[in-house]
Amino acid sequence: MSVTVEELEAITDAKVVDARGTACPGPLLEAKKGMAGVPMGSTIEIWSTDPATKNDISAWSGKVGHDFLGVLEADGYDRVFVIRRK
Amino acid sequence: MAGPEKLVFMVTHGPAEPELATIPFVMAAAALASDVAVVMGFQGSGVELVTAGIAETVAAPEFPPLAKLLADVRELGGSLLVCSPCLKSRGTTPTDLVEGAEVVAAARFIAEITSATNALTY
């Protein structure tokens, strides 16, 4: 599942998980914790300064069954969007 | 029908090799976050990593500190199995280990490895 940049930019109700400054596997572990705190079908937005995170979260989402939406580049970090599906 | 996925990480490097000591914990934490069961087996110098107070002294560049990763693995439910003779040869006793570490012998490692989806040695 992937959406357009415009659709990602229109998401305003995602729970932000700020993992900036953490090294692998920090962003992944923060994403897992963040996911546990939102209802099924909700979107979380992981902030990461590690350029590998977007691929890592994409692979993790596919593995565990969440929907990876895509990535927006911010000022010095990535915003990675995932919908909780399990 | 296949059972739940499980990975075994055999850890054979200690504090003298911080990168090789750290990477299996990174992999184990990522596996647990991916709903894969994890058993970490410590042999040789690897047993030093689960001796209380040692993880706090290990940090590899660009990785989280080992103490943080060890805490993550324990919090996420990973098992820590420690080679009995490796421990004895270093003058370490089970009471010297971090909480939750279990001292085992070869047959337990074999049982864990043969029942796992895969086993990786570091």
For A16-66, the pLDDT digits (tens) are 999 999 999 999 999 999 999 999 999 999 999 999 999 999 999 999 999
Question: B5 to chain A, minimum CA–CA distance in Å?
Answer: 12
CATH code (residue A78): 3.30.110.40
CA distances from B72 to A28, A53, A56, A60, B98 (A): 12, 18, 18, 17, 13
Identify the CATH number of the domain defined by range B6-121: 3.40.1260.10
Over residues A69-79, the mean pLDDT reads 97
Partner B contacted by A70 (CB < 8 A): no
What was the pLDDT predicted at B20? 98
Chain segment B41-91, per-residue pLDDT in tens: 999 999 999 999 999 999 999 999 999 999 999 999 999 999 999 999 999
First CA to last CA distance, chain B: 30
How many domains would you assign to chain A? 1
Q: What residues of A are annotated to the active site?
A: 24
Structural contact between residues B43 and B86, judged by C-beta atoms closer than 8 angstroms: yes
Find, among B75, B24, B83, B23, the residue nearest to B51 by Cα.
B83
- pLDDT above 50: residue B1: no
- pLDDT above 70: residue B2: no
- pLDDT above 90: residue A1: no
Picking from A1-15, A60-74, B30-44, which range would have the lowest pLDDT averaged per residue? Answer: A1-15
ipTM above 0.85, yes or no: yes
Q: How is chain B split into domains, by residue range?
A: 6-121
B29 and A29: CB-CB below 8 Å?
yes
Partner B contacted by A77 (CB < 8 A): no
Report residue A76 as tokens. Answer: 């010095």
Edge to edge, the sheet with strand B118-121 lists: B101-104, B79-83, B37-42, B6-11, B118-121
B35 and A64: CB-CB below 8 Å?
yes
Sort out which chain B residues have CB atoms less than 8 A from A29's CB and list them. 29, 33, 72, 76
Number of H helices, E strands in chain A: 3, 4
Question: B31 to chain A, minimum CA–CA distance in Å?
Answer: 9
- Domain with A33, as residue range(s), is 5-83
What was the pLDDT predicted at B3? 66
Over residues B92-105, the mean pLDDT reads 96
